[in-house]
Structure 1
Amino acid sequence: MATFKEQEFRGLVPLKDHDPELFDLIEQEKSRQWRSLELIASENFTSRAVIECLGSALTNKYAEGLPHARYYGGNEVVDQIEELCQKRALQAYGLDPEKWGVNVQPYSGSPANFAVYTGLLKPHDRIMGLDLPSGGHLTHGFYTYSKKENTRKAVSATSVYFESLPYRVHPETGYIDYDQLERDASLFKPAMIVAGFSAYPRDLDYERFRQICDANGALLMMDMAHISGLIAAGELKSPFDLCDVVTTTTHKSLRGPRAGMIFFRKDERGFEGKINQAVFPALQGGPHEHQIAGVATQLKEVLTPEFKVYAQQVKKNAQALANKLTSLGYSMASGGTENHLVLWDLKPQGLTGSKFEKICDAACITLNKNCVPGDRSAVTPGGVRIGAPALTTRKMVEADFEQIAMFLDECAKIALKLQEKSGPKLKDFVALLDGNEEVAALKKKVNDFATSFPMPGFDPKEMKYQDPSGPPSSA
């Protein structure tokens, strides 16, 4: 056996030689992204610059603690990177560094939210957030009822460690029912109200949230993960005028890497120390400085006029999609959209969101099943959520989104035909997708359409699989 010194040095071997199996899977994923229509509202395509940060030597460095107060040595460069990210984060939202601070270490949005709860609340304090079936997020507190166990079940850790009471959208309008929120808050007396959402097609009334919080002694936190890019560009109202704490992811409409940030007011309440302490050492270990560098370089882009034009186009594209689907006879929750996403109610067509998601997948259109107003269960939702950020990044405009609406219309019509044969069960419906000629023909049209647009982050000409129809089945 060769000694350690005699063994081959593999530290510079590229992935395609080091692990051909994994390299091939990554190339398959590149091909899927290039030839598909990515309509998941929480996804986007980041830039090559961000990807270079994510694959940089920064991944090697432990940096527990904050800049200039680390638990390890060798952080003189990392400190500069993290401070640069903090500076750009405050600039992106027009914040005075004397009045606002930011922690850029959360690994993503869910850890960011839980760090705020950990730092500012006591166990079993009361929280109110938008109900999951109304478009809220799991981390805003969600319970469900288990008929099998005949008991209430806390789905998220937020509801395990804190007492949560949801507020909802009005079942007829699809808008947040602020009047009901006000009545419930006056009885429940929450310690914190969480604004924000994962599937709500409208802007928020921060003034009304603030009034309700002040009337009940509650903190106001905004989770702007979905719309942070639109807020930075001034295309939606800013939460910073009225909220105490603002959290966000960085990979949705902000178009950066997958990470999170927490913004907090600097005042006599001492949020800065409490939140920083909650992030580390309470909940996380060493920050991922390669992610933080990726956030920093994306925030540089966010500060440009070009990003504002992008954010404007995201809204235009979402509205074009909603208007076209409406003109085709379909129903949009709340009657349309004023942000980056559309909620399509499929109940009038007799389709479930689950079936529609599956047929879209088969045609290389990626979206997700989602609750719409009137739904009682997130397991069998009556609609789908469709987002514009990713395909806007690929330079698609209103006319392109109108064409996408036509593809979706075709999916719905094929789905109804298949459902007549399959009956109500999802597994029977899915079984009919494989080999269906209409689905295959639609998939080819989608592939040809998608591959005619540029691809951020990597050059399709350099991919292993460059056929618009995808890798061979044996890949």
Structure 2
Amino acid sequence: MSSSPLATYAQLGLRQLHDQDPELYDLLEREHRRQSETLAMIAASSVAPASVTACEGTVLGNVTTEGYPGARFHAGCEVVDEVERLAVRRAKAAFGARYANVQPHSGSTANQAVMFSLLRPGDVLLGMELSAGGHLTHGSRASVSGNYFTSIGYGTDASGWIDMDEVERLSKEHRPRLIVCGASAYPREIDFVRFRAIADEVGAFLLADISHISGLVAAGLHPSPVDVAHVTTTSTYKQLYGPRGGLILMGRGADTPVPGSRRTLAETLQSAVFPYVQGTPQLQAVAAKSRALALVAQPAFQELARRIVSGATALAAALSAAGYHVLTGGTDNHMVLIDVSRKGLTGLVAEQALESCGIIVNKNKIPDDPHGPRVTSGLRLGTNHLAARGMDTDAVRECAALVDRVLSSVRATDTRTWHLDEPIRSQARADVTSLCARYPLPDLPLEAIV
């Protein structure tokens, strides 16, 4: 393999980068080391295996391929057509789908393709409020989705669970053309069946965005919406351990006629991605998606998914035992949301203090949060990265203890500034480094290749 044209090309590229652009190479090497030596507890990402990232550095990016396999607008696509067909087959197999589009550049683009093909300007869109745990593309005023359409938001109850009675009431009141279920900060199982029943009652399409939980769905650890919702979307980097990109999936609803059109949902979404929303696909990313989906089909991914869930359960329990208010009282997926205001901190202060010790989390708004999105009162933690390192529940509890040690030692001077004694910071950083060494990321440093 080392003498194959593909391997030679990859090795040559790294050597040229190292020799001819040391400034950029050094930045890439520093980032690689940062990821290896810090404890990432970020819910919105995972760590792609080396074979996935290798696909993105291949010559596929040199091919212009507007259109779909067998119907391109350019010549020279014989091989890349097979690459895309393989990715489609693997996406269908991973999720039990009848239709899959692997071209979306992101989960956001996938959502836009669905919305802009099924809705008209001013149509009513019902989605989860950003402040309650929804996503920008689900109708937030900061997104085109909340400006181009009439956006109505549903939220959570006092315990932090999706208020399905409110979803039903708002649906009957506003008669949306599209209902979006799925979230970016929600730790509990989503009732796709009830969402579909509500959508059917008011004559709406149902879009399920599973970007955060797609790995658990593929592993059978969370109910799948593929045969329940009209359309399902996901990003491929959050929990599929793939590249930056998105997927559009459909099950039994693929052949559903679109009212006012002679086309089915599958035909509508196919033309929505190209040419309506996107042009040329990123075929190197399509290949990387294909590789990630092949790994999803392996038994090892089932074990990885189980570690994600068991780790999150252990994390929530450990933080709760340490006195933190865990939203909804626990978790059903990879995500744990905590209210740090009861510890006298803001999300921003907690995020920065933890990062200074090598623990990477993100601040997050919580229900009835008095602070804006740049400060917040909460933290969102996740176990995708911890599971990739092979951490069991005992190791995750060590992570929780590190988090608690740092946050219990921080002294906030206001909503944005804080102090942490240097001996505490140094010891926490050393313990993080030791833990990361015991559970290394499953790849090699760049210098081993160069």
Shorter-chain TM-score bucket reads over 0.9
**In the alignment, which residue of structure 1 is the partner of 2:231?**
245
SS at match of 2:54: helix
- Structure 2 residue aligned with 1:6: none
Q: Check whether the contact 1:224–1:248 (CA below 8 A) recurs between aligned residues.
A: yes
Q: Deviations over 1:431-472 (max 9, x none)?
A: x45x833212211211121122222343477399xxxxxxxx
Output aligned runs, 1:72-111, within 5 Å.
72-95=74-97, 100-111=98-109
Query: C-alpha separation between the residues in 2 aligned to 1:313 and 1:135?
Result: 24
TM-score calculated relative to the size of structure 2: 0.92
SS of equivalent residue, structure 1 residue 84: helix
1:229 maps to what in 2?
A: 215
Tell me how far apart the structure 1 counterparts of residues 147 and 266 of structure 2 sit (CA, whole Å). 25
Structure 1 position 313, deviation (Å): 1.0
| Aligned match of 1:149 | none
CA distance in 2, matches of 1:22, 1:309: 37
What's the counterpart of residue 282 of structure 2? 288
Q: Which amino acid aligns with 1:397?
A: D
Structure 2 match to 1:267: 256
SS of corresponding position for 1:30: helix
- Are 2:290 and 1:301 aligned? no
**Structure 1 residue aligned with 2:261:** none
Q: What is the aligned partner in structure 2 of residue 408 from structure 1?
A: 403
Residue of structure 2 in register with 1:129 after alignment: 127
1:387 counterpart = 2:382: yes
Give the Cα–Cα distance (whole angstroms) in 1 for the partners of residues 81 and 179 of structure 2. 34
Distance 2:364 2:76 in 1: 47
Could you tell me which residue of structure 2 aligns to residue 116 of structure 1?
A: 114
Matched, 1:454 2:440: yes
For the 8 Å contact 1:54–1:294, the answer to whether it is kept is: yes
Shift of 1:379: 3.5
Tell me which of 354, 360, 363 is aligned to 2:357.
363
Contact 2:52 2:291 survives alignment (8 Å): yes
Q: Shift in Å at residue 425 of structure 1?
A: 4.1
More displaced, 71-80 or 346-355?
A: 346-355
Q: 1:169 aligns with which of 156, 168, 172?
A: 156
Q: Find the partner of 1:187 among 159, 173, 182.
A: 173
| Structure 1 equivalent of residue 6 of structure 2 | none
Partner of 1:4: none
Q: Which runs of 5+ in 1 are unaligned?
A: 1-10, 143-153, 465-475
Aligned equivalents of 2:301 and 2:53: distance in 1? 18
Q: Does 1:206 align with 2:200?
A: no
TM-score when normalising by structure 1:
0.88
Displacement after TM superposition at 1:14 (Å): 1.8
Which blocks of at least 5 consecutive residues in structure 2 are unaligned? 1-11, 259-263
Q: Which amino acid in the other structure matches residue 210 of structure 2?
A: M
Which segment drifts farther, 377-386 or 393-402?
Answer: 377-386
1:384-411 Cα deviation digits (max 9, x unpaired): 0000011111111100110000000011
Over the residues paired in the alignment, what is the CA RMSD in angstroms? Answer: 1.6
Letter in 2 for 1:324: A
The alignment partner of 1:262 has SS state of strand
Q: Is this contact kept in 2: 1:51–1:457, CA < 8 A?
A: no
CA distance in 1, matches of 2:200, 2:376: 35
Q: Does the 8 A contact of 2:126 with 2:139 survive in 1? A: yes
Distance in 2 (CA, whole Å) between partners of 1:309 and 1:461 is 31
Asked whether 1:35 is paired with 2:33, we answer: no
Which of these residues, 25, 33, 49, is aligned with residue 47 of structure 1?
49
Q: Which whole-Å deviations, capped at 9, do the CAs of 1:308-333 have from their partners, x for residues lacking one?
A: 11111100000000011111111100
Larger deviation, residues 446-455 vs 50-59: 446-455
Contact 2:128 2:180 in 1 (8 A): yes
How many percent of aligned residue pairs carry the same amino acid?
38
Distance 1:116 1:446 in 2: 42
Letter in 1 for 2:154: Y
> What per-residue deviation string (whole Å, max 9, x for no partner) do you get for residues 6-48 of structure 1?
xxxxx86621012100000000001100110011101111111
CA contact 2:32–2:445 (8 Å) conserved in 1: no
